[in-house]
Chain A
């Protein structure tokens, strides 16, 4: 029997708090899960710094990747024998679902910004490079690894396959919304996934939803909206993210100044030089990063030491709402006042905007801007865009809610002498 068709003699199951069980029968999937590149995802948290806000949010990208695989497996079970679906694509979809987040690094978002990296490039490198993953995919067949990379990169010829893993209603989002809700403990993020899976239909180039499933999709859209503001963009998490990002900036800056670290940052050197190869990338996970943050508590550089102390011991920056249009001159004054009291504003006075953590709210958009969710009409098989059918979706998708906050170390400011004029003026600007 060809490797691609090999089945395990007995089905394996993973207990999962979101989907109850994750079922594996394909030998290829079982082998991929066992690779060192996939096992590494156990050491990358799904929600980065959110554990400092929601103490339960310690789940990993390993959990999520298995969850996405399971959802796609269930979708494909429902697609069998339906028009437009070719079951020869089944294994490709399952592999792409399982491996879609393979290239995520530690605290992905901040790392990518500071060191100018792209986790999608690394996913491609892991799938196509000299890795255990690639060896397995090569065994499946000629060109199979390239096809998996194309599906994940959204450049695969069959857009229906791509849309299962990545579209406005895909397995990736359906897993992370429920999983993140479960582990953070919030009551948002829940929707009737079983219903959505039952009303999904394959068309030539995308997955669409039967009109009768509209209310289940409305719930899903509301979940996305609420999870963003309540969890993903939580101001305390953003504060931790600001500090994390400033630690990385400071360490890079010190390296560029030939600063002599007491603990040589061996694992970071290629990141500082912005020349990271695959092996170096795979070696750095969150346990290593946190080890360095601990080690840097002993450094002579006061900024690096202080920022690491804040991150490790959760002494985060405080924040106020900030309007860059109305408060432009106040910001410039604050910048000078911080300099006057020897607090470097580059590290300790930070404006954070909603676009610093992009999140895809559902937007119908313009024609051909991006593909919306389409509802399949019962009588004539016509497709209608979701927000034109649903008042609820129209109401939230038309709303542009954006946000800017100013972060600063209130504890340091409070320690300044009460009669210091700069302190009085800073407090006046910040708190009125």
Chain B
């Protein structure tokens, strides 16, 4: 029962705390592209890959009391913080869902800005293209973000690192 919910709960439990919905969206997408079996469907949106299914699933987990959501007013926008609750931990104890080790990958992503994770997830979205085509595509679809060459190079390194971690 609720296997997909349990996978997301495992992610939150490993992450301890996730700050920002955009960051959450991109982190799950990046893990998915590293073959972690999340089943939420993603589409490309204005700010890169986005999953309505994930948004709704997180709302359900909040409503069930398995995750706490704290809304912070940042004057011109809101920011959300997520943590697993005691009830959530109990739910996870009943669940038989297993995931590969995620801790180091999650920690690496938590250190990065949501802007950087937007770049990484956008590059991964086009991973059926050649490296040069991916970079051209990023400059086309992310024109307003104005990503610099150094950021793109850092993103390639980051992707390599994550993929190495996911296979270990």
Contact = CB atoms under 8 A, between A and B. Distances in A.
Contacts of A120: 43
B59 A400 contact: yes
22 contacts: A155-B141, A324-B1, A324-B2, A324-B5, A324-B91, A328-B94, A353-B60, A355-B59, A355-B60, A358-B52, A360-B52, A363-B55, A366-B20, A366-B22, A366-B77, A366-B80, A367-B76, A367-B77, A368-B47, A371-B45, A400-B62, A402-B59
Contacts of B87: 325
Nearest to B118: A368
Contacts of A167: 46
Given A353-B2, A355-B57, A370-B47, A157 B140 contact: yes
Given A354-B56, A355-B5, A369-B22, 19 more contacts: A154-B43, A155-B140, A156-B141, A167-B46, A206-B46, A324-B5, A324-B91, A353-B60, A355-B4, A355-B56, A355-B59, A358-B53, A366-B78, A366-B79, A369-B47, A370-B47, A371-B46, A400-B62, A402-B59
A313 to B, nearest CB: 28
Nearest to A353: B60
A325 B91 contact: yes
B62 A324 contact: no
Nearest to A400: B59
Interface in B112-161: 114, 118, 125-126, 137, 140-141, 143-144
Interface string A67-94: 0000000000000000000000000000
Interface string B68-80: 0000001011111
A370 B56 contact: no
Interface string A107-140: 0000011000010100000000000000000000
B64 A370 contact: no
Contacts of B59: 355, 400, 402
B50 A370 contact: yes
B13 interface: no
A333 interface: no
Most B Cβ at <10 Å: residue of A112, A323, A331, A367: A367
A56 interface: no
Contact of B41 (A118, A323, A325): A118
B25 A369 contact: yes
Given A325-B66, A325-B91, A355-B53, A368 B22 contact: yes
Contacts of A324: 1-2, 5, 64, 91
Contacts, number: 100
B21 interface: yes
Contacts of B101: none
A353 B141 contact: no
A370 B45 contact: yes
A-B pairs, 10 with minimum CB distance: A367-B77, A371-B46, A355-B56, A358-B53, A355-B57, A402-B60, A358-B52, A154-B44, A400-B59, A325-B64
A167 B44 CA distance: 11
Nearest to A367: B77
B52 A328 contact: no
A215 interface: no
B137 A325 contact: no
A206 B141 CA distance: 14
Contacts of B118: 368
Nearest to B52: A358
A354 B60 contact: yes
Given A157-B140, A157-B143, A355-B53, A365 B44 contact: no
A404 interface: yes
A359 interface: yes
Nearest to B74: A367
Interface in A366-425: 366-371, 400, 402, 404
Most B Cβ at <10 Å: residue of A167, A355, A359: A355
Given A157-B143, A369-B25, A359 B52 contact: yes
A177 interface: no
A353 B137 CA distance: 36
A205 interface: yes
A53 interface: no
Given A155-B137, A325-B87, A328-B91, A365 B56 contact: no
Interface in B1-46: 1-2, 4-5, 20-22, 25, 39, 41, 43-46
B52 A331 contact: no
A142 to B, nearest CB: 17
Contacts of B114: 368
A354 to B, nearest CB: 6
B71 to A, nearest CB: 9
Most A Cβ at <10 Å: residue of B45, B46, B62: B46
Contacts of B143: 157
A351 interface: yes
Contacts of A159: 46
Interface in A335-373: 351, 353-355, 358-360, 363, 365-371
Contacts of B94: 328, 332
A355 B137 CA distance: 31
Nearest to B141: A155
A60 interface: no
Contacts of B57: 353, 355
